Structure 1
């Protein structure tokens, strides 16, 4: 099972990367492959390829600011949350995804 996502926050520094790391670590805990693109102060890093997006059962997007290239996820099931929630609730998110898909 694969989940992809994109994290971004208004300042583009800590929370963008903390949310990405939390989701990846929680994915490992639940046996879910997680690929996260970050849109932070250093620009876009770990850009998602179309193959990863197509293979994903769902997409996780932070909703603190607009995500660049969001149209890539058209037709996919999308979960939108603030980066703070992605950090603190990453285990619950992955547990729910595992149960749902």
Structure 2
């Protein structure tokens, strides 16, 4: 499974980066490719490549706060998850997602 994700939280600090790291670790542990863009207090970091977005199977967006440039994901399968849920439950979330996608 190829995952594109954007994490953001209202303060743009801890949860933005903690959820990105948790998702990347869970994806690696399960053998999935995952690129995460963070939209934190210092702006957008690790901006997702348009070709990667086009090629990915799913887009995971945190829904604690509005995501900038969300129109890039039009036509893609999008899963919205709270940053706290990604921090605590990234592995089960990816497992269920993989089951639904048949990966």
TM-score range, shorter chain: over 0.9
- Report what 2:76 is aligned to: 76
Q: Distance in 2 between matches of 1:97 and 1:65?
A: 22
Structure 2: runs of 5 or more not aligned? none
- Report what 1:15 is aligned to: 15
Q: Distance in 2 between matches of 1:99 and 1:32?
A: 13
What is the TM-score when the length of structure 2 is the normalising length? 0.94
RMSD of equivalent CA atoms: 0.8
8 Å Cα contact 1:9/1:40 also seen in 2: yes
C-alpha deviation, 1:54, in angstroms: 0.8
C-alpha deviation, 1:20, in angstroms: 0.3
- Report what 1:55 is aligned to: 55
What is the count of residue pairs matched by the alignment? 101
Aligned to 2:20, what secondary structure does the other structure show?
Answer: helix
User: Once the two structures are superposed, what CA deviation does each residue of 1:57-94 show, in whole Å capped at 9, x if it has no partner?
Assistant: 11000011100000000001111011001111100111
- Structure 1 stretches (4+) deviating beyond 2 angstroms? none
User: Once the two structures are superposed, what CA deviation does each residue of 1:23-49 show, in whole Å capped at 9, x if it has no partner?
Assistant: 000001111101010000111000001
